[in-house]
Amino acid sequence: MGADLPYRRLASRRIDIGRTVLNIREEGEGPLMLFLHGITANSAVFAPLMADFSSRFRTVAVDQRGHGLSDKPQAGYEADDYAEDIAALIRTLDRGPAILIGHSLGSRNSVTAAARHPALVRSVVAIDFTPFIEPEVFDALEARVNAGDQAFESLEAVEAYLARRYPNIPEGAIRTRAASGYERGADGYRPLASPSAMAQTANGLRADLSPAYRAVTRPVLLVRGGESKLVSTDALAKTSALRPDMPVVVVPGADHYVNEVSPDVTSRAITNFIDA
């Protein structure tokens, strides 16, 4: 099932970065472009975008700690922990400075890494995560994340669950999430993402991100889904007031999962930004 899914063509390997062991999917040659996924997801979700850029860049998508096929330590799920993983991976790959493409959790981690390690980062595309997200939004996110720890009798059941959970994500992207993000166990198919890691990560997302946005000196593109329920128009406006130098792209019709719902528009926005 899912043999035709785009992520299956990518070379996958685990790499020891000193701090932990991460699973990466990669293709292409050239300067380094790293892709960092959102909470509960994994590197496979970026296969369509990687295809668009692998003729120009060494595109590397990462299963962040606690997710996918990467190691899942008992602790270490704050922004700085993830950011130091990014820095260690860039050093280990020895291809920096890197362009960082981050969605949601990956967006927060990318901006934090760029603020802490500007010499390792060329620029950041921050997709649908900003400072000033309202507490009630995080409450809803945390509830959804914690509800994901359940078993399913088949991958078809996983796909049906994900389609209800993410109603705007196309069928092919749902199939990718199911096939790449779940494994069969004694009681059925369960998420590869560690429940404990997800709970810690969701709580850590509440930390104030504005210091990182104030400190970052590398170019940052802000991308928001026009129908996002995570980044409100008010949160985006406050972020733009904090950093008016950062360009903004709002993708009409897309929700929080911009890069999966509208990969072509996302790809054009990235291209325009990095080629400017």
- The catalytic site residues sit at 104, 128, 256
DSSP classification of residue 133 = -
**Torsion, Cα of 127, 130, 136, 139 (10° steps):** 60
Amino acid at 203: N
DSSP three-state, residue 14: strand
Maximum pairwise Cα distance, the chain:
52
3 state DSSP class of 189: strand
Scanning the chain, the segments in alpha helix (DSSP H) are: 47-53, 79-93, 105-116, 135-147, 155-165, 171-181, 195-204, 210-215, 233-242, 258-261, 263-275
Read off φ and ψ for residue 243, nearest 5 degrees: -135, 75
CA distance linking residue 100 with residue 98, whole number of Å: 6
* Amino acid (one-letter) located at 155: L
| Contact (CB, 8 A) for 245 and 218 | no
